[in-house]
Amino acid sequence: MKYGKWIIPRGPQEAPRALLEAGCTPLLAAVLARRGIVSAEEAGAFLDAGPESLQPPELMLDMDRAAARVREAIERRETVAVYGDYDVDGITSACLLTSYLRGRGLNCLPYIPDRIGEGYGLNTAALDSIASRGATLLITVDCGITAAAEAEHAKGIGLDLIVTDHHECGAGKLPDALAVVDPKRAGCPYPNKGLAGVGVAFKLLCAVEGGAEALLAEYADLVAAGTVADVMPLTGENRYIVRRGLEQMELRPRPGVAALMEECGGGAKRMSATTVGFTLAPRINAAGRLGNAALAARLLLAPTLEAAAPLARELCRLNRERQELEHGIWEQAAAYLRERPPEGPIVLASEGWHQGVIGIAASRLAEEFRRPCVMICFDGGMGKGSCRSYGGFNLFDALSACSGCLEGFGGHALAAGLTIRRERLDDFRRELAEYYRRCPPPAEPALECDVRIDDPDWLSMDCAASLERLEPCGAGNPRPVVCMTGALLTRVTPIGGGSHLKLRLAKGGAEFDCVFFGCRAEQLGAEEGELVDAAFYPQINEFRGRRSVQLLISDLRRADMAGGCELLLDGELPLGWDSLELCPERCDFVRVWRWLERAGGEAAGELRRLAGWGPAAMRPDKALLCLIAMAQSGLVGLERDGGALRVRALHRGGKADLDASGVMVELRRRCEEYRERRRKHD
């Protein structure tokens, strides 16, 4: 079980009639309603967002000055340099501007700093090199917002500077440049603060061109890749741009994308944000992590498939090397932390770690130990660190509070980087721990389910396929989490060398094939034959020409019998197929009465331990329904005291009509209502 707390919708799931009449399936309609979309107009605006969602680039501060200077460079045929970053966002940003400016006839010099030797952002040696090659204008992409000293140096050597960035500006002064374009600048009226670096660069080109359509037709794939990889919210204009980019990657991919997908065995895959995030992005990132970001840029700029193929092979080789390095660092750090469980933020440092991959290891450790994680690689007296958040802890604010211990830092609330001197490491640990105590994360992350399935029809082929209309899914528009409670786990089969699991769940006469990636059998927390709750995303699986619904498991736990029993005691009765499984028959009442007699006419137990309570091999929620009916009929006394439940037999004459009890009347009604729906469906 990955999550300690699940949030499951209570009561009947809503599928608004207006959405059903607009052509949505019940499952899609319920998901949209959960997200506050209840009318056909709202659904259309979200699902089919078009160019009207694009915001005018001129709303960004300094955009007019930046666009005018770029147009001037084009008219004068100047040599222009583009200074990027070594991650996917920075690489795609650099490729976007480089391809555009070269297409306008300019000599464009892309520059991506070496992660190991130069680190993040502008540096004066690079500026000198760029100026020596004849560049008169330098445009930063995905970096530069804190480069005040470097901007002064650029001015001193006669290099005009335009900064485009999307990172937090911090408390320092802005660079003294011709233009500083960043939607997060104080006072910037641009409404979309969630643009990626490549999104800001794209907006600059829109301002230069006076429109977006031609640029989208040519470059939407690059903007989409950087936006998804940098985990920007996929809402509003980001959603429209990414959808256009995914269509381009699928229907007419640029040679570099086609070669990379072919090399990693995904040539026939449908392109989605998940494909970009888990197939393309790690391989492009691998080049930058291992100090060869220029290789990824060359791949994305390759003119033909023949030119791209060897670059794609090398990129995949680097990714395999990255995986090995990262796994070794994670194993070493995890073993250390298991012996010394952290109470606050994790801060680890070493001289032997590879600086390019510690960020990935930090992400894994943050998830495993449920703490923000900082991993620092020292080289002599100076260290560079990667920081990853957990539970909504704002890293940027935390590093700002600890800035006196640092040589520098930058990034976002959820991911950041820092530079620190060795002698300040203990001070930083202490100050970060103190900040964490003063400003803890909002809450332990919980698994929030969008929809609880009460009818197997909601997991039909049509319903599962309809969820694809929510794509692109990601930050700000996550894939919906669907859940099923009280299902029987009938099969557990390790796959992928034991690293993943295939599961089979059964409920109410229906069976479901499932896959749980990244979970080993010993981590599952449940065994064959047990009742479980499952959270998942239903998808269409294609295998040897056969299409079927497959549940992609997000998390699985033993069924929450205590939670279900608490709902019954609160008067919330089971719906849908649960009513069929839980509605007691006469034989069930007999078993419960005999169990109570054997207990001496009285029994008590804690609600959180009801899984072992009641007659053997009988579901405790079903036994509780029997007791509720008996209590309503005067046969037993049922008392709830906080987290405890007590039942005692009442000695009374005559027979009781259990079927006339309120709970049985309602359960029978719900069973018949469900059977009628099934008859109409069949």
Instruction: Give whole-number Cα distances, 474 to 83, 151, 337, 347, 479, in Å.
Output: 28, 35, 31, 29, 7
Return the pLDDT at 115: 82
CA dist 388 and 140 (Å) reads 25
Query: What is the strand order of the sheet 644-649 is part of?
Result: 602-606, 644-649, 636-641
Domain 56-211 has CATH 3.90.1640.30: yes
DSSP 116-146: TTT-SS--HHHHHHHHHTT-SEEEEES--TT
Return the pLDDT at 307: 97
Q: What is the pTM of this model?
A: 0.83
Q: Tell me, what DSSP letter sits at residue 453?
A: -
The neighbour count for residue 55, using CB atoms within 10 Å, is 16
Return the pLDDT at 267: 65
CA dist 515 and 529 (Å) reads 17
Pairing of strands 482-495, 500-507: antiparallel
pLDDT along the chain (682 residues), means of 10: 84 85 94 93 89 96 98 97 95 97 96 84 94 97 94 96 92 91 96 96 98 96 96 92 95 95 78 90 91 92 96 94 92 93 94 89 91 93 93 92 92 88 96 94 84 91 94 90 94 92 92 93 91 95 86 94 88 89 93 92 82 81 94 92 88 80 94 84 68
- Tokens representing 457 are 């029809």
Amino acid letter, residue 645: L
Yes or no: say if 507 and 484 are a contact pair by the CB < 8 Å rule. Answer: yes
CA dist 502 and 513 (Å) reads 7
Instruction: Give whole-number Cα distances, 534 to 112, 481, 514, 540, 541, in Å.
Output: 45, 10, 10, 18, 18
Question: CA dihedral in degrees (338, 341, 346, 347; nearest 10)?
Answer: -80
Yes or no: say if 199 and 226 are a contact pair by the CB < 8 Å rule. Answer: yes
DSSP 144-196: -TT-HHHHHHHHHTT-EEEEE--S---SSPPP--SEEE-TTSTT---S-TT--
List, in sequence order, every residue forming a beta bridge with 180; answer none if it has no partner.
Answer: 163
Return the pLDDT at 682: 66
CA dist 540 and 543 (Å) reads 10
Q: Tell me, what DSSP letter sits at residue 356?
A: T
Phi, psi of 362 (to 5 degrees): -60, -40
Yes or no: say if 34 and 221 are a contact pair by the CB < 8 Å rule. Answer: no
Return the pLDDT at 96: 98
Yes or no: say if 377 and 385 are a contact pair by the CB < 8 Å rule. Answer: yes
Same fold? 56-211, 341-438: no
- Which fold would CATH assign to domain 341-438? Diaminopimelate Epimerase; Chain A, domain 1 (3.10.310)
Return the pLDDT at 80: 98
**Helix residue spans in 599-639 (DSSP H):** 620-632
Please report, for the chain, the start and end positions of each structural domain, with discontinuous segments joined by +. Answer: 6-35+450-559, 56-211, 341-438, 562-681
- Which fold would CATH assign to domain 6-35+450-559? OB fold (Dihydrolipoamide Acetyltransferase, E2P) (2.40.50)
Q: Which CATH number fits domain 562-681: 2.60.40, 1.10.3470, 1.10.10, 3.30.50?
A: 1.10.10
